[in-house]
Amino acid sequence: MFSAQACIQHIIPKTRPDFSREGSAFAPVNIALIKYWGKRDTELNLPVTDSLSIGLRTLGTRTRIRWTEGEDNISLNGELLPSDNAFVKRTRQYLHYFRPNPSLGFIIDTHNDVPTGAGLASSASGYAALVLALNDLCQWQLNKTQLSILARIGSGSASRSLWNGLVHWHAGTQADGMDSYATPITHQLPSLRVGLLTLSRKTKPISSRLGMQQTVHGLSLYPAWKPMVEQHLSRLQTAIAAQDIAQIGAISEHNALSMHATMLSASPALCYFLPETIATLQTLWQARSEGLACWATLDAGPNVKLLFDAHEEAAVTACFPKVSIVQPFG
């Protein structure tokens, strides 16, 4: 077992804090088309399988960071958070890895475009923006592979939020995780649209972190997940190369629902859906049976993301008037 501290110290150069500097960065939210669900190492966030995502380009997290002598001071969306807040505790624990000495703290000001902890991938863009801002503050000049590894140790899905467009996180096989990082995919899908249906902004009752453990250790259908992901990933890569949005949508929906099926099969069962989630899926499936070319993906939360081609935009909006549409490729 390798510790997160040892892996991080292996990557970051030793630098002296420059108190006059400020670091800042933006990282996009990413939505997985092939999901990350389950870890082979919980300290390093090493996944059981590869995953593949799409960045939401302009939606994400903006973070500014400075040094301070003493306690960390963390603001989220303009509000200074108390030190017993769960978001602050988790962020501080991660920041400990980067302090040259324990008495030094950070002043962090971070803004999320999506609700925090509601299954809309805020931890992915959050940890990616934090790592990029630290790289700027400390002038490490690390490459994207090294940054992806650092972000992954903060939150697994953050390894994918350093790029826009399609991104592939390679699970790797090494115990120290030095081969578990993301790489961008060169293919573009200019006509792909992602529709966000925010059905709830509440923080989810069970974090992804605990939910994954419950599924992996819960005598569930989880053993079927790894071979299924391998098959879905290979089919998705073929569909991406062919720019086949119908296939991309269908494979992504199947992968997301398969992930939720493994959660439901855990003991105790894990269900992130609300009644509105099921109602939305039923509306979608009915519309699809009548010809709408649109598919859904869902993460560890009740909100639904739609995948469709630009030429379906009007029909999708007619079916889901509250949808917010993102053009991942501009």
Cβ–Cβ under 8 Å, residues 195 and 308 = yes
**CB-nearest residue to ligand 2P0:** 156
Minimal distance, residue 124 CB to ligand 2P0, in Å: 6
The phi, psi pair for 125, rounded to 5°, reads -70, -30
Collect all residues with Cβ–Cβ distance below 8 Å to 52 and sequence separation of at least 6.
32, 33, 34, 166, 167, 168, 169, 185, 233, 236, 237
**What string of DSSP letters covers 85-133?**
-HHHHHHHHHHGGG-SSTTEEEEEEEEESS-TTSSSSHHHHHHHHHHHH
Q: How far is the CB of 22 from ligand 2P0 (least distance, A)?
A: 26
CB-nearer residue toward ligand 2P0: 299 or 309 = 299
Min separation Cβ 300 and ligand 2P0, Å: 4
Residue with tokens 């081609």: 309
- Per DSSP, what are the bridge partners of residue 3? none
Return the number of the residue (37 or 67) whose C-beta is nearest ligand 2P0.
Answer: 37
CB of 155 to ligand 2P0, least distance (A): 3
**Spatial separation of the C-alpha atoms in residues 40 and 132, rounded to whole Å:** 26
Closest CA to 95 of 55, 65, 136: 65
Q: Is 63 exposed, middle or buried (0-12, 13-18, 19+ CB in 10 A)?
A: buried
Which residue shows structure tokens 């899908």?
A: 189
Min dist. Cβ of residue 318 to ligand 2P0 (A): 29
For residues 45 and 303, which CB has a smaller minimum distance to ligand 2P0 in the complex? 45
CB-nearer residue toward ligand 2P0: 66 or 152: 152
CB of 45: closest distance to ligand 2P0 in angstroms? 4
Which residues lie near ligand 2P0 (CB under 6 A)?
Answer: 32, 35-37, 45, 51, 121, 123-124, 155-157, 208-209, 299-300
For ligand 2P0, the closer of residues 37 and 106 by Cβ is: 37
Residue 123 vs 220, nearer CB to ligand 2P0: 123
Nearest approach in angstroms of CB 98 to ligand 2P0 is: 17
Of 43, 46, 45, 10, the closest CA to residue 140 belongs to 10
Nearer to ligand 2P0, 229 or 292 (CB): 229
